[in-house]
């Protein structure tokens, strides 16, 4: 009888252990499910907050961009580079004309014309070793000698020309444009800048590939309605 009692006790103890084990496993699984659900909710909340912040940031960026485009100075971004109105800037006049106030100053102080304007006539180019037309004048001067705007106007182009090197163009109204080439730098003015006569825009350089055999100089052109004309009649140089 004692043995049977012990056996019954042992069976009951085994049952209790099994139920305890099952309870423990169920509890652990439940806890894991709760943690997983909590992490999923937290991750969704974080993604939602990130998307909301991105939306706010994009809105701010768009607002700032819109404000920039329509604000002061923003019109230059969405419109072509402005030019000087001919009503505000008289057309240049040849030297000796009665309208001397419409003339141009020298782009290089103390410079001397080393090569003149040829028009349709061919002249010898030592660099190319052939005869070509020369649509401007070459004003010889030491490297980095200041180059100045010959008349008030708006900088319309700043670029590196394959033939003439670093080049700047300025519109003066009434169809007149001055072109400055073989410059030393393109970092002193930008497209859209409004300049006055005498403002420094660059320096004399040696960047003109097609005139590299010549001494340092400024290649200077004057165009009227896109057609080159002799600059010597507008600037006081010999």
* 57 band by pLDDT with thresholds 50, 70 and 90: very low
What's the mean pLDDT in 192-199? 96
What's the mean pLDDT in 211-237? 91
Handedness of CA 170, 163, 159, 198 (dihedral sign): negative
Output the pTM of the full model: 0.60
Residues 121, 202 contacting (CB under 8 angstroms): no
Domain ranges of the chain: 1-79, 100-233
In degrees rounded to 5, what are phi and psi of residue 199? Answer: -70, 135
**What is the token pair recorded at 229?**
């004309």
* pLDDT tens track for 120-172: 999 999 989 899 999 999 999 999 999 999 999 999 999 999 999 999 999 99
In degrees rounded to 5, what are phi and psi of residue 193? Answer: -70, 140
**What is the token pair recorded at 112?**
């001397």
The CATH superfamily assigned to 100-233 is Glucose Permease (Domain IIA) (2.70.70.10)
Q: The tokens 């252990």 sit on which residue?
A: 17
* pLDDT tens track for 19-50: 777 778 878 888 888 877 777 766 666 565 55
Question: 129-167 b/e with 16+ CB inside 10 Å = b?
Answer: eeeeebbbbbbbbeeebbbbbbbbbbbbebeebeebbbb
């Amino acid at each position: 009888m004692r043995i049977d009692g012990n056996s019954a006790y042992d069976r009951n103890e085994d049952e209790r252990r099994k139920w305890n084990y099952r309870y423990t496993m169920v509890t652990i699984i439940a806890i894991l499910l709760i943690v997983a659900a909590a992490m999923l909710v937290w991750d969704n909340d974080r993604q939602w907050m990130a998307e909301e912040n991105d939306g706010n940031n994009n809105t701010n960026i768009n607002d700032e961009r819109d404000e920039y485009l329509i604000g002061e100075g923003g019109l230059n971004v969405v419109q072509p580079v402005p030019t000087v109105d001919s009503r505000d800037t008289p057309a240049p006049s040849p030297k000796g004309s009665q309208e001397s106030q419409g003339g141009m100053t020298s782009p290089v102080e103390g410079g001397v014309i080393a090569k003149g304007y040829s028009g349709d006539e061919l002249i010898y180019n030592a660099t190319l070793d052939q005869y070509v037309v020369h649509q401007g004048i070459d004003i010889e001067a030491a490297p980095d000698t200041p180059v100045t705007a010959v008349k008030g106007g708006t900088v319309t182009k700043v670029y590196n020309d394959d033939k003439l090197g670093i080049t700047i163009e300025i519109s003066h109204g009434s169809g007149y444009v001055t072109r400055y080439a073989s410059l030393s730098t393109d970092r002193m003015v930008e497209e859209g800048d409004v300049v006055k006569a005498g403002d420094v825009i660059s320096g004399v350089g040696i960047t003109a590939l097609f005139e590299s055999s010549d001494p340092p100089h400024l290649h200077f052109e004057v165009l009227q309605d896109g057609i080159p004309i002799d600059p010597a009649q507008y600037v006081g140089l010999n």
